[in-house]
Structure 1
Amino acid sequence: MSADIKGDNQPYDDINITPMLDLAYVLLVTFIILTTASVQGVKVNSPTTQAANNLAKPQTRAITITADGGVYLDAYPVDLEQLRSTLAQYKAANPALPVVLKADAAAQYEKVMQVLEVAKQLDITEIGLVTKRATGD
């Protein structure tokens, strides 16, 4: 009887990693299924309507002023007159037109004020100024 007890207390020669691999495969398959399901979405054939202009659309416009004084509207270079006419068209389509102004830190203050003056003349009140968050003190 002592020989049976001695045989049970011997150390293992190998480790069974099958349960760990099973868990790893289950997690991998779950991750793949969840990722592809969220990316693909559901495809539908949208109906057409004559009242498309009345539907809500995200129409935030971005005005960028570079360090050398260049003005861009949605990544397209414009002068102040083109900016005024284009923003007037957008404002006519959306009275609550939101605009964000992103100016280089080295841009001339006068150019920023000219762009803000154009927005004021067009009665654009939803204006956001883009800045970077300061790190540290």
Structure 2
Amino acid sequence: MKLRDVRSHKVPELNIIPMIDIMFFLLVFFMLSTMYMVDLKTIPVKLPQAQNASTDTSTTFAVTMKADGSVYLGDAQTDINSLVMQARMEQKNNPSFAVVIRAEKGLEYGRVIELVDKLKGAGVSRFGLATDGGK
């Protein structure tokens, strides 16, 4: 009777479960880290609530208007005239230019419309109003 060598017929196993776990961990890590990279540099204000708000990350200018009358472009304080000049130059360079206005909750509505009117006069046609998501 001939005995077979056990080592010659054993097929090596490749266990890929730990590799899949590591790949999923890396995927989640990079997804979460990119979420923090998208955050716009703005100053904190109390925004009004909205139930059906959507998120837009392709904004070129994030303009913040506070109740005390100050205006910010990103996180730097500016005045309306220089903001309009910067918007006019950006509109010439970028046809998909958009402005998102982050008006503080207690701000008078007419001040927001005044800013939108001046930006429209500078040629800006795409606007958004920022809110806190209600969900």
CA distances 1:45-94 after superposition (whole Å, capped 9, x unpaired): xxxxxxxxxxxxx5621111112221111222110111111111111111
CA distance in 1, matches of 2:132, 2:98: 20
Q: TM-score, normalised by structure 2?
A: 0.57
CA distance in 1, matches of 2:65, 2:134: 20
CA distance in 1, matches of 2:121, 2:22: 53
Uncovered stretches (5+) of structure 2, i.e. residues with no partner: 1-16, 31-57
Identity of aligned residues (%): 25
Deviations 1:5-40 (A, max 9, x none): xxxxxxxxxxxxxxxxxxxxx46x53323332673x
In structure 2, C-alpha distance between the alignment counterparts of 1:133 and 1:33, rounded to whole Å: 32
Runs of 4+ in structure 1 over 3 Å off: none
Alignment coverage as a number of residue pairs:
93
Q: 1:71 & 1:102 partners in 2: Cα distance?
A: 10
Structure with the larger helix share:
1
State the Cα RMSD in Å: 2.7
In our comparison, the structure showing a higher alpha carbon Rg is 1
Q: Which residue of the partner structure matches residue 73 of structure 2?
A: 73
TM-score, length basis structure 1:
0.56
The unaligned stretches of length 5 or more in structure 1 are 1-25, 40-57
CA separation of 1:68 and 1:78: change in aligned 2, threshold 3 A = same
Which sits farther off after the overlay, 106-115 or 122-131? 106-115
